[in-house]
Amino acid sequence: MDRVETHEFAYFVTVAEELHFGRAADRLGIAQPPLSRAISRLERRLGVRLFDRTSRSVSLTPAGQAFLDASRSVLAAADTAVRTAQRAARSHRLVVAARPGQGSRLLAAILPRYDRSKDAVPVEILFTRQQAAAVRDGTADAGLMCSTEDLTGLQTTELIKETAVALLSAGHPLASRPAVTIGELRRLDTFAEQCPDSSLDQIIDLVALRRLIVVVSDGITGKLGPEVTAVPVTGVPASLLVLGWAPAIPRPALAAFISEAKRATDSLVSHPKAS
């Protein structure tokens, strides 16, 4: 039997998920007749019927269901191979995904330590709310994220807990309060439930200009300046930050970053005012 090509696995899985050749063809960006011919050709080569077809419906046969499970494994392995190659090609730099407004104090403690490591490479910070996804798809080598996020498929190490604070312009009526509630913040016109996908400097500028009020972690308070005030938010639990990375061929640069992240965390916990 001829070897099944990767694109044939992808064609089959798409039809199996849609159970409709027209919709599957639309997802794949091809015409329906070539897709139908490709599936028929695959069935002939395998010597089994993968789908039961009528004029009104398409369903998987028992052989098709078994082949679907195996095909998904093949495609997952191919994706892993691609990500591994991308990471290897990116060996001259390290990309770390981080959520805007979270983990800044920790990153500020990690980076100088890492830069002194013999295995250090230039670090690029990718600001995104989809840190875990960025690591899984190979966009980032590691991600700084909350332990409550979906960490499926990632290796992680726990780092530090951070509490929630609201960023307010220094002249805002709530800026002098010892604490505010999330309910009070939600009644304000400029309050945003989520941080913009922007750099921390841009977020701070928007707050200073009274265009934005947002809840972030207390790890950024050392970077605010006189025009922005951080006020603790009651009723919002502390977040446990973890560093996550995808299991793959070990990279000395990534291993060094993980090691220095742990050391920086230990230093912050032992000397919380040091940074």
| Ordered structural domains, the chain, with CATH | 6-87 (1.10.10.10), 91-160+241-270 (3.40.190.10), 164-234 (3.40.190.10)
* pLDDT score recorded for residue 275: 42
Whole-model pTM: value is 0.56
Nearest-angstrom CA–CA distance, 242 and 91: 23
The residue with tokens 């960006």 is 29
In the predicted model, residues of the chain with pLDDT beneath 50 are 274-275
* pLDDT score recorded for residue 271: 61
Q: What amino acid occupies position 258?
A: I
Which tokens sit at 47?
Answer: 């010597």
* pLDDT score recorded for residue 274: 45
* pLDDT score recorded for residue 85: 66
